[in-house]
Amino acid sequence: MEGGPSSPANRRDPYEVLSVSRDSTHQEIKAAYRKLTLKYHPEKIASNPEASELFKEVASSYSILSDPQKRRQYDSAGFESLDAEGMGMEIDLSNLGTVNTMFAALFSKLGVHIKTTISASVLEEALNGTVTVRPLPMGTSLSGKVDRQCAHFFGVIINEQQAEAGVEVIVTSTAQSKFKLLYFEQDVNGGYGLALQEDSERMGKVTSAGMYILHFQVYRMDSTVNALATVKDPEASFFRRLEGLHPCEVLELKAGTHLFAVYGDNFFKAATYTIEAVCAKSYEETTHKFRDIEAQILRKRNELHQFETEYQKVLFPSVNFFIHYAVILSNNYRIT
């Protein structure tokens, strides 16, 4: 459907698509998404040729508003913050043809960071509570192989002492597979909504991703914010190096069962991985160092803000002086 509702030129406000307000809670957004996916599901209304496009538009809107990081970016600067002239745009591999997938894989091999989105089917299954959950006892690890655009779900049971100390969930791949580590929160209807997402990164000879939900505020770096700042104002990009540092939306875990998932993000083949859940109490010294390093980074960000203010105070008079001097020279040149 050419020029459909989900085409870039005709993109509608995600809040409008889901018929929710800007201050809607995560639960309200999930409820609206469920209602609309049932209404526009192509299999249920095959007679409507626009159903597929409407379904994609709903899924795309939910992928923005259900992800705290994307929602924050959209609220601050609209679609521009997500697109950033092509930077930070996420693609759904399940909708790409073989040729386009090959090109994406080639660019990725050449070092171009290709961001991908989680398939709508995985999110919908989680929302419906129909996923298969494997137990992952604290202090143990499990290995597996997950197909591309599919997810393996794990239930991590933590007690009161472990919840107070903090929990670390780490996924590694010695095959250097691409994957996403996901954390879901349970809603009142028994389903699960996406709360956190970490993409794998290459660390030496492995790829890895980790979530650290500790007894203090943990920060995450959003590189897209830094890239967007560079595009908007290249001269000020030096001062924006740490602008992408945001507090993690999940501050703590209560005692009970918590749902994590490994999502296969390879372009063609399944992703091999090992996932482990550990109590931060076992790494108390490292946790303290982690907290100190984050505090240092936050101080550096404040220092950069202060330095930028001082820099601008010195720069503007100098610029004005040179402009004034150039005007005088120009006038003198005309006179002579």
48-77 pLDDT per residue, tens: 667 777 877 887 888 788 777 778 878 887
Helices (H), the chain: 14-18, 26-40, 51-65, 68-83, 98-109, 120-128, 160-165, 223-232, 284-335
- The pLDDT, as a whole number, for residue 29 is 85
Percent of the chain past pLDDT 90, that is, above it, reads 25
- The pLDDT, as a whole number, for residue 61 is 86
Q: For residue 36, which of 68, 66, 79 has the smallest C-alpha distance?
A: 66
DSSP symbol at 234: G
111-131 pLDDT per residue, tens: 445 567 788 788 888 888 899
Q: For residue 81, which of 229, 182, 220 has the smallest C-alpha distance?
A: 229
What are the structure tokens assigned to 251, written together?
Answer: 């501050």
- On average, the pLDDT of the chain sits at 76
> Which tops the pLDDT comparison, 88 or 159?
159
Q: For residue 123, which of 75, 42, 72, 65 has the smallest C-alpha distance?
A: 65
The pLDDT-based confidence of 333 (bands split at 50, 70, 90) is low
pTM over 0.75? The answer is no
What are the structure tokens assigned to 172, written together?
Answer: 């590694």
- The pLDDT, as a whole number, for residue 318 is 58
Beta strand 151-158 with 201-203: parallel, antiparallel or unpaired?
Answer: unpaired
> Which tops the pLDDT comparison, 55 or 87?
55
Sequence-distant (6+) residues with CB within 8 A of 291 are 214, 216
227-283 pLDDT per residue, tens: 555 556 666 667 766 776 667 666 678 899 999 999 998 877 899 999 999 998 877
Q: For residue 169, which of 214, 126, 207 has the smallest C-alpha distance?
A: 214
129-139 pLDDT per residue, tens: 899 999 999 99
